[in-house]
Amino acid sequence: MVVDRNKLNDLLKQLAGELQNEVVQSAESLLPRRDDNSSGNGTPSVRSFFGIWDSGDSRSADNDRLDADLAREYDSHEANT
């Protein structure tokens, strides 16, 4: 999507002063942040997504349980082939 900055500036000028700031702050909050988690091309790196999903299971990071689940699934797929 191409952004026409001149058109946006013209639209912002039509708003009251306090609304202009609110719109700008809101728009800036939608932009990807450039920091150590950036991949350099403006998109967040994969690392920035680590840990953002909460399954609701307090044992979801239990490695022994994960290994058992993977082994069970692997065995079931091996049995079907």
- Run of H or E including 63: helix 63-80
Please give the pLDDT value at position 9: 77
pLDDT for 64:
92
Q: Could you report the per-residue pLDDT of 14-38, keeping only the tens digit for each?
A: 877 778 888 877 877 777 665 555 5
As a whole-number percent, the residues of the chain with pLDDT over 90 amount to 11
55: nearest Cα among 47, 45, 65: 65
Return contacts of 39-45, CB within 8 angstroms, 24+ apart: none
